[in-house]
Structure 1
Amino acid sequence: MRHVAVMAGTGAIGMMAVFAVDLLNFYYISHLRDPALTAAIGFATAISYVQLSVCIGMMIGLGAVTGRLIGACRSIRARHLASGFLVVMLFSSAILGILTALLAPELLEALGATGEAQSQATGFLHIIAPALPLTCFGMAQSALLRAVGDARRAMQVTLIGAMISAIMDPIMIFGLHLGLTGAAISTIISRSAVVVAGFLCVREHRMIEWPRLWAIAPATRQIGKVALPAIATNLATPLGTVFVTHFMSRFGLEAISGQATIDRIVPVAFALVFALTGSVGPIMSQNLGAGQVHRVREALVSALKLTALCVAITWFLLALFHQEIVHIFGLRGIGADIVTLFCEWLVASYFFVGLLFVANTAFNNLGHAFYSTGFNWGRATLGTIPFVWIGAHYGPIGILYGQSLGVVIFGTAAVLVAFRVIRAL
């Protein structure tokens, strides 16, 4: 429990700082009092999540394979494969970023964006999307730092990016009057700082070197066995979000603004739950590589306990301060109703989101990555589409209820299967 708590806690601090700055960024934009701008962030975020899911999937594969090699005392092999796979990560993310920027207007139109909201979101993506390799490289370095157990430096690197973004956002948005363009430029500057700081830390651990050409192919094969299913797994969640955003857009910009507010609150409020997925994985893979199977189960149980504690505390705080949240972000009408319902009741459904995430981490690191793919796509399709489609007949509130009900079913099933997988080791 101590190992899981330290790794997840430091990860949560770093993630919370990043997403708190993201939330602050959204707060700045909301104070421009233009619903088209806040809706534009909602639309752009839905597309950006798809990009990030590809990077996260590659990061999971990198962390799982290198962690297992380190646990088996094969650090040199881990360094060769990690450096070779970084080439694949940067090349893949560059292609994805450029394609997203080129197709941004069509993608946003498919989501339901129109008029000024579509125009603003397109401009935002034209700046952010091509810089995806910076994000991917930063994630890779974080995975390597956690694979060697250096949670403190992984947190510090993330905090550096958050601090720079917190300083640059108001300067760009208000000082230079650049609006969403300023927010995008600030994001790129902070991501660049993370890459530089992360590179210096990873180099100290001798976990990175100039890529060897012969290592690229075996790195792609070995890490790809985990990364490809992990990418497929992680794509399910943002695609489900895209589906929800499409239905929510039918009810106007206020509904999209309310949904965008929830999308900004959740990563901050549940930073510990999200950090568990990146922190428990290396612990499981290291202990599996060292033959300590009983500790693999202990890590899973500890992660579930921390998830329950985090959700309980978050539910209490959001329910207590929901009126202040609505006021701070200037929400009105249906947007205010959406955020109020989430804070008072539907936030509890994130316990089951946590179950699903922790179970998927176990699957990815214990040689059953396709289980996580199945459960995540099950949640994004069978657990989202029919429930949201039915709920949409009752308005935006019905969409939120439908989305929550689906995750309860699949989160519970996933964690039960995870325990069966560990018993079979």
Structure 2
Amino acid sequence: MAVPKAKFTTGSTMRHVVVMTMTGALGLSFMFLVDFLALFWVSQLRDEVLISAIGFAATIQFFAVSVAIGMMIAGVALVSRSLGMGKGNRARRIASVVLIYSTGIQSLLALLIFAFRRDILMWTGAEGETLEVAVHFLAISLPSLPLIVMGMCASSILRAVGDAWRSMLVTVIGGAVAVVLDPLLIVVLGLGVEGAAIVIVISRLMMTVVGLYWLGVTHRMMAKPAQWDMVAFLKPYLAIALPAVATQLSTPFGNWVLIRAIAEHGDSAVAGFGVVSRLTILGFGGIYALSGAIGGIIGQNAGAGLRDRVAGAYADALKFCAIYTGITWALMAVFADLIAAAFGLSPEGTHIVKMFAYYAAGSFVFTGALFVSNAAFNNLGRPLWATISNWLRDGILMLPLAFSMGAIWGAGGVVMAQAAANTMVGIGAAVVGWRYVRAGRGIEARTRAKA
């Protein structure tokens, strides 16, 4: 069986960054397009209670998806390092172990959230009819969480191998399913929120099927693990996965804080913030994809001991981040009114969308800098540094900023609180990450391990 090549150790690092990030962004955007389309078609029923309910439910599911992203990061780091060292057979075994552990952990998490979904939604601020609709939505969609972790892990390992297009198509196919089925089930068949949840389940199933096929059949990157593999790879997997999951959980926690602060200003404000949340993930897919996209590039070059290429990839990712954010920010500002009108938002909800599109969206250049530094920390032996950076933003700064600025400037102040936290932490993380990459300690450690 042919050994997969470490393709990121040669050629232009900027080209690798652009190709992997844009394909990753397109794939990630299509994955979140499922939620965006569900919200859009439900909004056509012209009931802000339904929009608010899906916003609350999506905030809860974002916690579970973030755990999946953390486990995905661990898989990318371990597989890409092994490929960089020329250990293709080891990379195959690690890929299989990562899939098994990740699916098992996500299944347990889905069960816990399902059992306590009503209580969790109440803590988040949902009440009355909004609460009941959100509970029903989660009852249908939560059992599909193990599917999304399998699809995401398969996509990320394909990216670590260097197959950008198939990695992208895993999630594109899921989004394409939603494009066809959402209007059919939600509007034509009149299933409403229930139809939106059913489409999410079908979409995640398709992601899993095509992802595992391309990973196992096309690339032969799955091998039946021996019993000792499950034990031998557990420690290195958890050494990255646990801090990576802790890092990723900070983002949904920050979102939970924001939506809890927004809930103080009524259902219309929550509906507006729900649109902003989907718009953020869809529009800034390139920023969210950065960490996973350059993780394989940094991992392969670190495994090969190529210190200058690691630093080059880091710098190129920051440049890409600045350009991408500038273009997206401009487009959002131009189309802000059209976006608010498309979702039928009230004046309060429209105000939230405009505050984000005109002002807060620009702060994503610093969010991107944070994600780039996280990729360096996770792949160069300092995953706890990424955890500290994210929780500084979402756990320490976000809460006091959101509630204090919300009390002074209303719901729009909550939106700007997120921008302020992004800016402060993003600058600090970028500086620390650059100094660490230039020092080359993580790369040197990998080189000694290889020797």
**Do they superpose with TM above 0.5?**
yes
Task: Note the C-alpha offset of 1:152.
Answer: 1.0
SS in 2 for 1:208: coil
Structural RMSD (CA) = 1.1
What is the aligned-residue identity percentage?
39
Question: C-alpha separation between the residues in 2 aligned to 1:386 and 1:358?
Answer: 26
Task: Note the C-alpha offset of 1:339.
Answer: 0.6
Contact 1:82–1:219, Cα closer than 8 Å, also in 2: no
Partner of residue 317, structure 2: 303
2:413 to 390, 395, 398: 398
> Is 1:60 the equivalent of 2:73?
yes
Contact 1:352–1:408, Cα closer than 8 Å, also in 2: yes
Task: Note the C-alpha offset of 1:233.
Answer: 0.4
What are the ranges of 5 or more consecutive residues in structure 1 without an aligned counterpart? none
**CA deviation string 1:17-61 (max 9, x = no partner):** 333343222111111111111001110111111101111000000
Partner of residue 219, structure 1: 233
Task: Note the C-alpha offset of 1:336.
Answer: 0.9
Partner of residue 206, structure 1: 220
SS in 2 for 1:247: helix
Question: C-alpha separation between the residues in 2 aligned to 1:18 and 1:135?
Answer: 9
Partner of residue 95, structure 1: 108
What does 1:177-256 align with in structure 2 at a 5 Å threshold? Answer: 177-203=190-216, 204-256=218-270
Task: Note the C-alpha offset of 1:176.
Answer: 2.0
Question: C-alpha separation between the residues in 2 aligned to 1:297 and 1:269?
Answer: 27
Contact 2:37–2:178, Cα closer than 8 Å, also in 1: no
Task: Note the C-alpha offset of 1:11.
Answer: 1.2
Contact 2:147–2:205, Cα closer than 8 Å, also in 1: yes
1:43 to 52, 56, 67: 56
1:341 to 355, 371, 379: 355
> Is 1:377 the equivalent of 2:391?
yes
Question: C-alpha separation between the residues in 2 aligned to 1:109 and 1:99?
Answer: 16
Task: Note the C-alpha offset of 1:99.
Answer: 0.9
Partner of residue 106, structure 1: 119
Question: C-alpha separation between the residues in 2 aligned to 1:414 and 1:374?
Answer: 10
Contact 2:253–2:395, Cα closer than 8 Å, also in 1: no
What TM-score do you get using the length of structure 2 for normalisation?
0.92
Amino acid in structure 2 at the alignment position of 1:423 = R
2:381 to 351, 361, 367: 367
Amino acid in structure 1 at the alignment position of 2:425 = F
> Is 1:72 the equivalent of 2:85?
yes
Amino acid in structure 2 at the alignment position of 1:177 = G
Amino acid in structure 1 at the alignment position of 2:98 = F
Amino acid in structure 2 at the alignment position of 1:171 = L
**CA deviation string 1:96-136 (max 9, x = no partner):** 00111110100000011001111111111111112111000
Contact 1:84–1:212, Cα closer than 8 Å, also in 2: no
Contact 1:160–1:194, Cα closer than 8 Å, also in 2: yes
Task: Note the C-alpha offset of 1:216.
Answer: 1.0
1:169 to 182, 200, 207: 182
SS in 2 for 1:342: helix
> Is 1:155 the equivalent of 2:168?
yes
Q: Which moved more, 1:172-181 or 1:308-317?
A: 172-181
> Is 1:123 the equivalent of 2:122?
no
Amino acid in structure 2 at the alignment position of 1:62 = G
Partner of residue 261, structure 1: 275
Task: Note the C-alpha offset of 1:213.
Answer: 2.2
Task: Note the C-alpha offset of 1:282.
Answer: 0.4
Task: Note the C-alpha offset of 1:212.
Answer: 2.6
Question: C-alpha separation between the residues in 2 aligned to 1:179 and 1:82?
Answer: 39
Contact 2:34–2:174, Cα closer than 8 Å, also in 1: no
Task: Note the C-alpha offset of 1:419.
Answer: 0.7
Question: C-alpha separation between the residues in 2 aligned to 1:156 and 1:408?
Answer: 33
Amino acid in structure 1 at the alignment position of 2:427 = T
SS in 2 for 1:367: coil
Contact 1:254–1:334, Cα closer than 8 Å, also in 2: yes
Amino acid in structure 2 at the alignment position of 1:82 = A
Task: Note the C-alpha offset of 1:140.
Answer: 0.8
What does 1:345-360 align with in structure 2 at a 5 Å threshold? Answer: 345-360=359-374
**CA deviation string 1:194-229 (max 9, x = no partner):** 111111111121211233322112222111111110
Task: Note the C-alpha offset of 1:389.
Answer: 2.1
Partner of residue 291, structure 1: 305
Partner of residue 418, structure 1: 433
**CA deviation string 1:280-313 (max 9, x = no partner):** 0000000000111111111111111111111111
Partner of residue 47, structure 2: 34
Contact 1:383–1:409, Cα closer than 8 Å, also in 2: no
Question: C-alpha separation between the residues in 1 aligned to 2:254 and 2:315?
Answer: 28
Contact 2:244–2:386, Cα closer than 8 Å, also in 1: yes
Contact 2:273–2:349, Cα closer than 8 Å, also in 1: yes
What TM-score do you get using the length of structure 1 for normalisation?
0.98
Task: Note the C-alpha offset of 1:337.
Answer: 0.7
Q: Which moved more, 1:370-379 or 1:15-24?
A: 15-24
Contact 1:30–1:37, Cα closer than 8 Å, also in 2: yes
Q: Which moved more, 1:381-390 or 1:278-287?
A: 381-390
> Is 1:275 the equivalent of 2:284?
no
**CA deviation string 1:332-386 (max 9, x = no partner):** 1211111111111111111111111111111111111000000000001222112
Amino acid in structure 2 at the alignment position of 1:147 = A
What are the ranges of 5 or more consecutive residues in structure 2 without an aligned counterpart? 1-13, 441-451
Amino acid in structure 1 at the alignment position of 2:416 = Y
Contact 1:85–1:216, Cα closer than 8 Å, also in 2: no
1:18 to 14, 31, 47: 31
